[in-house]
Homo-oligomer: A and B are copies of this chain.
Amino acid sequence: MKIIIDCLGGDQGAVAAVEGAIMALRKYGDLEVILVGDEQEIREILKKREQSEERIEILHAPTMVDGNDRPTDAVRLKRDSSMMRSISQLREREDIDAMVSLGATGCLIAAVTVRIGRIEGVRRPAFCPILPNMAGGVVGICDSGANLVVNAEQLQQYAIMGSSYLKTAYKVAEPRVGLLNVGKEEEKGDDLRKETYSLLSKTRGIHFAGNMEAREFLSGEYDLVVCDAFSGNVLCKSVEGTALELLKKIKKDIYSRTRYKFGALFMKKMFQEEKEFMNYQNYGGSVFLGTEKVIVKGHGSADRRAVAVCISQARRMVQGRLCERIAESIRENIDEAE
């Protein structure tokens, strides 16, 4: 099991990435990592944390991709960046099973789309973040960043790939797939949604639970939501934004009165837990579905613990042979259609 880690691009620089890798190495005896970033900095962090270089390969990358880079420019011009070096290693070396990055999402999506091979039959890889739901489980959004313009067949592939992902990485026995739409009824939505509804109803090997309205997203009634990247992005970010803004408001309001402040003394732990609960970093990074190799994108603000979660998530996907499973189910579905 060898995972390559793009150590630059996160808000905390190489520290979170390298320390997260150390946590994962100490937990999993079968794990080997390749750390890509400033060689000297990586060595210093390892030394400080008294970590031997056993099972670690260091690959020097002098620059990094950041949020200000235009994706196409980053792919073309920043070949010596930690992200692009990681991508080309992942593509070229057969011994590397997976990649973890905290770098700029747009640039990573562009690089993966251009440089990493697709599983046979997959039209376009999708980008799938995972969020907590109110029933104590998780819910994936496929796609929330890769393809702004899609057709019904692509959305069908998202349903197939996302179901395999939730089975493999989150042990959901029979993922309930919802089609993001403006209403529950079958006839709702634009032509794309109507066509997709009919296609998903006929797709074997998935559990199609019908149209899903955005207000039901956290309810726990769906394990996977399929949608175009535009509305997926809106869904994901508005859930995140609303939860954060509301908790921030509550915190502010507590300080507005002495009796609230007093009451809150007894509830400190609860509020911390609510914040932890909505911290999607605890549930893993976003993954690419449909690529030949496993790629996990952690949040830019990930700390070492969140990086370790991403690595262990990538490990589960490799161990569960996710790419092979997706290849099989896509193949079966194509056979079915013919």
Question: Which residue numbers of A lie inside 8 Å of B, CB to CB?
Answer: 70, 106, 134, 145, 148-149, 180, 182-183, 187, 189-190, 213-219, 229-231, 233-250, 253-254, 257, 259-260, 262-267, 270, 273-274, 277-278
Complex-state Cα separation, A277 to B278, whole angstroms: 20
In the complex, the answer to whether B215 meets A238 with C-beta atoms within 8 Å is yes
Which residue in B189, B217, B230, B239 is a CB contact (below 8 Å) of A190? Answer: B230
Chain A binding site: helix, strand, loop or mixed by DSSP? Answer: helix
In the complex, the answer to whether B263 meets A241 with C-beta atoms within 8 Å is no
In the complex, the answer to whether A240 meets B215 with C-beta atoms within 8 Å is yes
Q: Which residues of B contact A230 (CB under 8 A)?
A: 182, 189-190, 231
Complex-state Cα separation, A277 to B254, whole angstroms: 15
Complex-state Cα separation, A214 to B190, whole angstroms: 22
Can you list 6 A-B contacts (CB < 8 A)? A134-B248, A180-B234, A214-B236, A217-B242, A246-B278, A263-B263
Q: Contacts A229-B182, A238-B242; is A270 near B260 (CB within 8 Å)?
A: yes
Per assembly, the copies of the chain total 2
Q: Which residues of B contact A190 (CB under 8 A)?
A: 148-149, 230
Q: Contacts A231-B231, A249-B134; is A214 near B189 (CB within 8 Å)?
A: no
Q: Which residues of B contact A149 (CB under 8 A)?
A: 190
Complex-state Cα separation, A227 to B198, whole angstroms: 27
In the complex, the answer to whether B241 meets A218 with C-beta atoms within 8 Å is yes
Which residue in B219, B242, B257, B267 is a CB contact (below 8 Å) of A218? Answer: B242
Q: Determine which residue in A219, A249, A273 has the highest number of CB atoms from chain B within 10 A of its CB, and name it.
A: A249
Smallest CB-CB separation from A134: which chain B residue?
B245
Q: Contacts A218-B245, A230-B190, A242-B238; is A266 near B274 (CB within 8 Å)?
A: no
Q: Which 3 A-B pairs have the closest CB atoms?
A: A263-B266, A215-B241, A214-B237
Min CB distance, A253 to chain B, in Å? 6
In the complex, the answer to whether B253 meets A273 with C-beta atoms within 8 Å is yes
Min CB distance, A111 to chain B, in Å? 17
In the complex, the answer to whether A267 meets B263 with C-beta atoms within 8 Å is yes
Q: Which residues of B contact A189 (CB under 8 A)?
A: 148, 230
